[in-house]
Amino acid sequence: MVGRTAGRLVLVVAVVAGGAAGASRLAGWGSDHAVETTGPYRVGLRTATFVDDTRPTPAFGGSPAAPNRTVVTDIWYPAAGNPDGAPVADGPAADGPFPLVVFNHGQQGEPRQYAPSFGLWARAGYVVAAPRHPLTVRGGPGAAFANDARGEIGDVAFVIDSIDERMSDLADVDHVAVAGHSSGALVAFATAFEDCCHDNRIDAALLEGTPVPLGQESAGLAGTPIMFVQGDADLTPPAVPHAAYDAADPPKVFLTVPGGDHSGMYRDGPAAPEVARAVLAFLDWQVKGRDAALNTLEDTPGVEIAR
């Protein structure tokens, strides 16, 4: 939950964007599709620690400044073995590589809160890398996103680089989706669309529970397929992110979840399985090029699709 910092988030995104409001969008990003991978797979779990010596970590609260930035990253992946087996820690990977999804938690959240969704996506043939943003992760120093926006946006490219360097047999970094919940959705948006921060490896973007208006920076969205998911019981009503959906070029998806809240519907709430399946269909459609996945999306209640 972003709460009372919401107004500051708009300013931070605008500042990080370097005054990009109204600027023309870059088009044509991520036009290729991943080679088809089949499932189901057993789900593997591992944690990697990536240290970026080129970026410092600012002090916050009782946490001192550091000359580098340590990004602990939880990874769900397709593992070898019986797909009906329980998730296995550090098990051998299935034959890959597989498309990569970089998922950003919201402030005071953590990756394992989204484990049911990540497991579903890994079982279907995706590597899900979820960085634990050091200042805003649950159990950390308690910062708000506004205190570390630039750092969190930079974590996405750094995690992609690190996985490419250390896990290229597992993850296909030529086929990448960026995703996030709450303030993490702002990270995903900036990485996919902002002139300041765009990573041209991004093939698709997923924004869950967008907490504040995306503002004029969303005008003329082009080039990257995008999916928005918003509950109609979220404190931020669907109309707020829908303005960005309206501005985006196709292909684009907007899923409104009846009775959906800000967090539970992406974690372990009653709507979470349906949301995870709809997201998987979007990924299969836009990252793996499976046109049949569009049928699953079209059958999802509350969905709008523009092709």
**SS3 call for 219:** coil
Answer yes or no: are the C-beta atoms of 94 and 51 closer than 8 Å. Answer: no
Answer yes or no: are the C-beta atoms of 275 and 265 closer than 8 Å. Answer: yes
pLDDT score of 93 more than 80: yes
The DSSP code sequence of 227-248 is EEEEETTSSS-THHHHHHHHHS
pLDDT score of 249 more than 50: yes
> Percentage of the chain with pLDDT > 90?
77
Q: Determine which of 32-46, 77-91, 92-106, 266-280 has the lowest per-residue pLDDT on average.
A: 32-46
Fold of 32-306: Rossmann fold (3.40.50)
Residue 214 is predicted with a pLDDT of: 85
pLDDT score of 7 more than 90: no
pLDDT score of 240 more than 90: yes
Assign 22 a pLDDT band (cuts: 50, 70, 90): very low
Residue 34 is predicted with a pLDDT of: 52
**Residues 238-242, mean pLDDT to the nearest whole number:** 96
Residue 13 is predicted with a pLDDT of: 45
* Burial profile 109-145: b = 16 or more Cβ within 10 angstroms, e = fewer: bbbebbbebbbbbbbbbbbbbbbbbbbbbeebbbbbb
pLDDT score of 117 more than 80: yes
**Residues 246-269, mean pLDDT to the nearest whole number:** 96
Measured in degrees and rounded to the nearest 5, phi and psi for residue 235 equal -60, -25
Taking phi over 0 as left and psi of -120 to 50 as alpha, with beta for the rest, 56 belongs to beta
pLDDT score of 9 more than 70: no
**Residues 69-85, mean pLDDT to the nearest whole number:** 97
pLDDT score of 14 more than 70: no
pLDDT in tens, 166-208: 999 999 999 999 999 999 999 999 999 888 888 989 999 999 9
> Percentage of the chain with pLDDT > 70?
86
pLDDT score of 11 more than 70: no
**Residues 211-215, mean pLDDT to the nearest whole number:** 84
Residue 62 is predicted with a pLDDT of: 84
Instruction: Return mean pLDDT, the chain.
Output: 87
pLDDT score of 23 more than 60: no
Could you tell me where the DSSP H helices lie in 124-148? none
Residue 59 is predicted with a pLDDT of: 93
pLDDT in tens, 123-158: 999 999 999 999 999 999 999 899 999 999 999 999
Report the DSSP pairing between strands 98-104 and 127-132: parallel
Residue 112 is predicted with a pLDDT of: 97
